[in-house]
Structure 1
Amino acid sequence: MSIYVGESRGELLAWLNDLLAPPQPITKVEQCGTGAIYCQVMDSIFGNLPMTKVKFNARQEYEHLENFKILQKCFTINKIDKPIPVDKLIKCKMQDNLEFLQWMKKFWDANAPGGGYDALGRTGGAAITPGPSSRAPANRAPPRTSASTTVRSVSTTSNAQLQALTAQVQEMQLHCEGLEKERDFYFDKLRQIEVSVTKRLEQPDVCDEERDHLAGVQAVLYATQEGFEVPDPEGLTLEDDEETF
């Protein structure tokens, strides 16, 4: 993973706090591992993420994964090729999140539209919480046996949910990549036919019968179905067809 040289942890944290102006300052790069901060940064560029659905109080990895699903869809919709190492980032480790945040700062510098970003307004008033990077007090009393058993049970359930969701995301990503390749393949074929027909029609030696035939091919290529509209990439948002991710 490439590192954006020149941006230290302190500089990145200062940038995040200036951009997002959270009620509670972001003090650790590890806090980005919940995915919520990454979603806010990308929303400040494109303005098309469903920020009210981002989990800002996420504590467990399976909750972080829900935020990264939103982030991944943002990358797909906006045609960003950068892979997201979700399995590493959700662990909330400093180095993994530092490197990804350095890349995101570089991307933001190159693509941010300028002007202020109303982070609080875009999130519907939700605030960034310290997240799993915060350390528990050292003098906290040990839990009782019954509470410990409950924690183990919840942890087992959470791990199972995380594994299931991770497998689902990977499967959907592979399926989406396959569909995109198939779409591009057939579009390229149709484009080649269109160019060939257009060039032939421009030749002076085309007879009327051949011209009529080629015009019929063009009519098929350009025909549309009633009620069908070619989607406008400029107007596509992350709210559209959300359940297909």
Structure 2
Amino acid sequence: MNYAVLSDVHGNIEALTAVLEDVERSSVMKIVFLGDVVGYGADPAECLRLIEGASDISVVGNHDLAIADGSGLDDLNEDAALAARWTATLVSDYDRKKMMKLPLEHVEADSGIHFVHGSPDRPERFNYILSKWDAEKGFAGCGSRVVFVGHSHIPAAFVELEYRRTFTGEVRRVKELDASKIQLETGYRYIINVGSVGQPRDGDPRATYGIYDSGNQTFYLKRVPYDVEKAASKIREAGLPEALAQRLRSGR
């Protein structure tokens, strides 16, 4: 089965529309959303409607919860918190309830593929996976063979090459991979970050998502151009911090 795995739209309807149009041209059977549909961008309600209609599987992100019920709002930086409060004025009670009902994680019953916003190790904490040491904790916190995450807005991939128990504890050997294209191998476990649709932070401003073929055991990133200037202008017109508009241009 082919999965399109999307994360971190953050109210960017231009990026989301471009990605969904790209998905339509692919042989995708399921669309998975890894959370943070809102926050930062100027079109939260429109993105909520589009994700609700398009996604087959969705999990919740930390910005979603901050906007839905205020939880974790104090953990956001100043610009993010300001954008979250602004977004909360545009989100309906229906949307709040929908976001609060979303699970923290989803595991496919037949294949065991694991979808979560942050680290699978205590997903309610929304920890980042930025290094192989973070990945080791993630592998230790779940038994899934393939885990897809978002949250950092930076594509990344990690493979657990070895796991064994010793008298002194557990030993894991984890290696970071090039996330652009991966051939998954039998006997190894993987954590893959699909990057961000609506606010990339790896220096490439194009919208990013991933395609996973569970039959052929392949994953590859897709980068989709979109109207960055339009999305940035909307942020500015909404009175949101200029830094949020600049991030779209720089991909940082």
TM-score interval, normalised by the smaller of the two chains: under 0.3
Q: Normalising by the residue count of structure 2, what TM-score does the alignment of the two structures yield?
A: 0.23
Work out which of the two has the higher radius of gyration on C-alpha atoms and give 1 or 2.
1
Q: Normalising by the residue count of structure 1, what TM-score does the alignment of the two structures yield?
A: 0.24
Q: Which has the higher contact order (CA 8 A, sep 6+)?
A: 1
Q: Which has the higher helix share?
A: 1
Q: Which has the higher strand share?
A: 2
